[in-house]
Every structure is written in structure tokens, then in C-alpha cells.
Amino acid sequence: MDDSNTLTERVTPLGADAFADVVLKGSGQIVVEFMSYDCEHCRTIEPVVEEVAAQSAMRFFKINIAVDGDLADAYDVVATPTFVMFSNGKEVGRAEGPRPVFSTLAALLEQPFKP
């Protein structure tokens, strides 16, 4: 398998129907990206998200707000991409529209999990 497929598999699409079981009842550190395929910034940042996911112990999921808008509303997502970080099912941080730079995104997503 080539590296691009390996990276892509690190960010798993997730629907509202599985969100509670996977994220809210999940254990460990989870990053959820609320995104849209129509969002230019989401498309620009996607390779960076995949790279961060490939080099991180956190689990990464993405929610398409065009399909699961009610879930985005429930989490007060007003811009895409918005990253919401969860630890053992509890929201511990969020970031809206970060710069698509590996070091910036990695630091931003890891910060809520540091002691």
C-alpha cells in the first residue's frame, strides 16, 4: 500500500448515527473535524490533517456538515473546518479554521491533551 492511501485511512469519515458510540462513548484522545467538501480551506488543509493523523496517537474522524448539519449545530460549528478535541468522551478543546501548516496544526490539536 502506498503512503497516500495509508494517510487517507487515518482520518475516518463518521456520520451522526455513529458519533455517540465512537466519540462520546469512546476512550482516549479523539479529534473530530467538522468539514465540508465544498469548503476550499477544508480541501487545502486535508493533506496536513492526514499527515498529523499519521504521526499522532490521537484518533481522527471527520464529519461532513452538509450531511450532518444537525450535529454541527449541536456543537455550535459556525465555520469550516472546525476541529473539536475529545478526551474520554468529553470535549476538551476546539480550533476553527487553523492554518494549513503541519507544525501549527499539530501543536493546536495536541494542546488540549497536554497535562
In sequence order, what DSSP letters do the residues of 73-112 get, joined into one string? HHTT--SSSEEEEEETTEEEEEEES--S-HHHHHHHHHGG
pLDDT value at residue 115 = 81
Residue 3 has pLDDT above 60, yes or no: no
Is the peptide bond prior to 81 cis by the omega test (within 30 degrees of 0)? yes
Domain of 79, in residue numbers: 3-113
The angle that helices 102-110 and 40-54 make with each other, rounded to 10 degrees, is: 70
Instruction: Give the CA distances from residue 53 to residues 7, 67, 73, 111, in Å, rounded to whole numbers and listed in that order.
Output: 7, 23, 25, 15
pTM of the model: 0.90
Q: Please tell me the total count of domains within the chain.
A: 1
Average pLDDT over every residue of 56-62: 96
Mean pLDDT of the chain: 91
Which CATH number is 86's domain given?
3.40.30.10
Average pLDDT over every residue of 70-87: 96
